[in-house]
Amino acid sequence: MSCDVELHKVRVSYDAFCALESIDLCVEHGEALGIVGPNGSGKSTLLKTIAGLLRPERGSICVFGTEPRRLPRGSIAYVPQVEAVDWGFPATVSDVVAMGRFAHLPWWGRFGPPDRALVDEAIEAVGMSAMAGRHIAELSGGQQQRAFIARALAQQPRLLLLDEPTTGVDAATEEALRHVVRGVVARGTPVLMTTHDLERVNEWFDRLMVLDRRMLALGTPDEVAASGAYAAIREHTHTHGHLRVDHDPHEGHEAHPEVRV
């Protein structure tokens, strides 16, 4: 079996704080993997590590058979949860989406009609055609999010990483995004996406991972639901006000032994 994305005993730390511990994962070609877990569970860290933005302290990561940083330009498209960009930057929606093509153009290359067509197509896919000429500061939060997803689509990546793309968007937008993601997956591109929203995970994802610094469960959405791992975490969070599984045991754990990994 070959994996498009393969993690082996990956550990990621920020200085003394260990954000991810012993993650093993294989994402196959044309697979949508959902990643759920409480705040601070390392979901974003996992995506950043796969994107090559963070280096694992231990373990290995292979994306298409090599280290993420050694991939050819344009291989990975990453859409962060919160875009830390300057909203006053002189750029329209169309300008931002065009950046997705830049990764594929050599320094001497020309931004030609095929690039322009891909940009328009990506804007259309997220339903932003009417706003293509608008300055980015004039968009709502959900529209900004869609513009950045369009940029990732225009890039035509081999791997798409989405960090909570559905947070703060309305139901219609969410439905549009789901179509977009399923379309990307149908073309064979693996998609890794974090989410808070457990509704309709069946429709979004082929497999679901429950993460809380360690991997607590991995399987089809139905299997994960049956394992109770996510429900346990949620309950644990609600009843104890903390999320970690690496503290001293207390009675809350006895009710959900599957949380202890």
Partner 1 sequence: MMHALLAPFAYPFMQRALVAALIVGALCSMMGTYVVLRKLAFIGDGLAHASFAGIVIAYLRNIDYQLGAAVVAVLTALGIGFVHRKGKVSLDTSIGVLFTAAFALGIFLMSRQTRYTLDLQSFLFGDILSVTRGDLIFIVVVGAAVFVAAMLAYRDMLFASFDPVVAEAAGLPVKWLDYGLLVALALTIVVALQSVGIVLVAALLVTPAAAAYQLAKRFTPMLLLSAAFGVTSTVGGLYASYFLGSSSGATIVLVATLLFFIAVALKRLRPA
Q: In angstroms, what is the minimal distance from the CB of 55 to partner 1?
A: 13
Q: In angstroms, what is the minimal distance from the CB of 202 to partner 1?
A: 29
CA-to-CA distance for 157 and 99, rounded, in angstroms? 13
Is the Cβ of residue 79 or residue 123 nearer to partner 1 in the bound state?
A: 79
CB atoms < 10 A from the CB of 71, how many? 17
Q: In angstroms, what is the minimal distance from the CB of 5 to partner 1?
A: 14
Is the Cβ of residue 90 or residue 257 nearer to partner 1 in the bound state?
A: 90
Site residues (CB under 8 A) for partner 1, limited to 216-235: none
Is the Cβ of residue 47 or residue 245 nearer to partner 1 in the bound state?
A: 47
Backbone conformation region of residue 151, classed left if phi is above 0, alpha if psi is from -120 to 50, else beta: alpha
CA-to-CA distance for 209 and 231, rounded, in angstroms? 13
Q: In angstroms, what is the minimal distance from the CB of 48 to partner 1?
A: 8
The DSSP bridge pattern shows strands 58-63 and 76-79 to be unpaired
User: CA-based Rg of the chain, rounded to a whole angstrom?
Assistant: 19
Site residues (CB under 8 A) for partner 1, limited to 65-124: 71-80, 83-86, 88-92, 95-96, 99-100, 102-103, 105, 107-108, 111
Site residues (CB under 8 A) for partner 1, limited to 167-206: none
**Site for partner 1 contains 161 (CB under 8 A):** yes
CA-to-CA distance for 24 and 108, rounded, in angstroms? 41
CA-to-CA distance for 209 and 186, rounded, in angstroms? 20
Cβ contacts of 60 within 8 Å, gap of 6 or more: 6, 7, 8, 9, 10
The DSSP bridge pattern shows strands 32-36 and 191-194 to be parallel
Is the Cβ of residue 89 or residue 223 nearer to partner 1 in the bound state?
A: 89
Q: Which range in 31-39, 155-163, 219-227, 233-241 contacts partner 1 by CB under 8 A?
A: 155-163
Is the Cβ of residue 115 or residue 212 nearer to partner 1 in the bound state?
A: 115
Question: Strands (DSSP E) along 85-173, which ranges?
Answer: 159-163
Contacts with partner 1 by CB under 8 A: the residue count is: 38
Binding site for partner 1 (CB under 8 A): 51-53, 71-80, 83-86, 88-92, 95-96, 99-100, 102-103, 105, 107-108, 111, 135, 148, 151, 155, 157, 161
